[in-house]
Chain A
């Protein structure tokens, strides 16, 4: 296959995986929540139709441009996150620093979620926006350190190298702490479940509270897409990407990502909302030392023990 054709295939595959993944995540969430399985499966369609039919809103004095950019960005950033992951064919962007690229994308989410709250010019939304920033201060550093552990083991920041280096043994086996910390980070930047007080019910929807119509659709879809992109990236970094017997590599990657997405969707309502002041201590005193300890163990195994 020529380079151009391969690139086109990668682009199409990225968009399709993200779209279908988001759809399935929403449908699965609906099945868990709703009165019947059939009703839950139609959740994405019904909600999309409802939101498309709604009028858009703006508020007096609202920072409209930034508000709309936030919603649009929440859908574009997951595309960028997934661009560095090999989904079968080579990734859209086979960057030598793919891990850093992913990190940059997830930091961009800070600005986007905060802008969702700022742009609305509403008290509840503003409180939600600053709650998100406080949560982000707690989960971001452990996330960054968790990203470096596979890079140390594979001697590379290129995602395809990290996937290839797991041909023998997936990294989750000897880096479980980093795996868990990365999943917490994925929930964090998706404003999901326990790390979603920014959009919490005590703030009448928080950062999502003043959105309606297509703008609301973009923000809600963006959360699902971030969840899927983060899960696919975690599967590539820790679960060995496409490695596995019998099935082709793209199939294995999808299966592994689906397991992670399903786990995050199931856990959505089962724990409690971690408010930022409580989560700060957890992030700095539990998650960060865990990630650092994991990194120490990995570095020692790699240098002294010769593992990879």
Chain B
């Protein structure tokens, strides 16, 4: 046992240079998440794409409740381990939190953090609590349960699609804890293949923010990441970090916009994606994803004094079902990313009460 513990410790030490971080943003804590991302980038820690890829789960913002808490638990269960869960609720905590999490990662003991057992939620309330996976070798498939298919989860059922073929339907939530997805917006997509047959909005909150221009740059970077233009996305992230005061100098905004406008592959990839008629919606949302990308990085939209604003996700959510039905999954991600960045309105003009989520201390 001594040998395996020693090897484990050695592997842990070697891995410390590249821990994969999965930040989950509580609605309203966007700036905290951005600062966390910057801190990780400085250390050379990449962001995880999915829980299976993640070592550290960092919840940015105050303690979540309700749906988000349940979602976080499921994400935590999906992480294989070594895994560490941490919370970042204020900016001053930042460097310390990452060091602590790294130390916990190193000290993680797999005997103390046992195998997560499968607990699929079921509509029949079938109790899976007695299914102890502890000693079973799960290398083989689980035995069939009475309800539906393996693991108590139903098999996909079919429905007629546009071509009149009966194809199976999959339900895909784009929900609370998804990387590069707006916090506070949850959709449930009905997919046939990778085409969206129906969109249901399950949550849309109004989120107060302090510096909307930083968020615009953040969303521009995310849109560029989703398009695959990683190099350009890194430049926009540098501009965002400079805007937040995290770095001494950033790329020239005019030059950045010019670079993005000059990129012909980007234009070809985003032209015609998510076209919105600017009727009954803010003018900024009109056009396709390429137009919206250029608006997101346009320095002319910078307000000299960052004023309080609100991310109006409910207005966005009204638009989405009509806009997204019939499009591909990739187009859905790109469209939502481009619209989310433009959904900021000044706080005085917003109707209704803002969501009561304390924001981390603004820098």
Contact = CB atoms under 8 A, between A and B. Distances in A.
B191 interface: yes
Contacts of A203: 329
A56 to B, nearest CB: 7
B41 interface: yes
B229 A212 contact: no
Given A46-B17, A205-B53, A278-B269, A61 B44 contact: no
Contacts of A123: 170, 172, 191
A168 to B, nearest CB: 37
A270 B224 CA distance: 11
A57 B52 contact: yes
A269 B228 contact: yes
A53 B179 contact: no
A6 B27 CA distance: 64
A43 interface: yes
Contacts of A127: 191, 194, 329
B329 A273 contact: no
Q: Which of B18, B82, B334 has most A Cβ within 10 Å?
A: B18
Contacts of B10: 49
**Residue of B225, B226, B231, B266 with highest tally of chain A CB at under 10 A:** B231
What class of interface size applies to chain B in its complex with A?
35 or more
B150 A61 contact: yes
Interface string A177-206: 000000000000000011011001111110
Interface string A39-62: 100110111111011111110111
A209 B50 contact: yes
Given A43-B18, A60-B150, A212-B80, A269 B52 contact: no
A54 B80 contact: yes
Given A39-B17, A54-B82, A123-B172, A60 B228 contact: no
B151 A61 contact: yes
A110 interface: no
Given A42-B18, A216-B53, A269-B228, 7 more contacts: A42-B17, A48-B14, A55-B80, A60-B150, A61-B153, A202-B329, A273-B227
Q: Which 3 A-B pairs have the closest CB atoms?
A: A60-B151, A273-B228, A269-B230
23 contacts: A43-B18, A46-B15, A46-B18, A53-B8, A53-B11, A54-B82, A56-B80, A60-B142, A60-B150, A60-B153, A123-B170, A124-B172, A127-B329, A130-B194, A193-B228, A197-B330, A201-B49, A201-B179, A201-B225, A202-B329, A210-B52, A273-B227, A273-B228
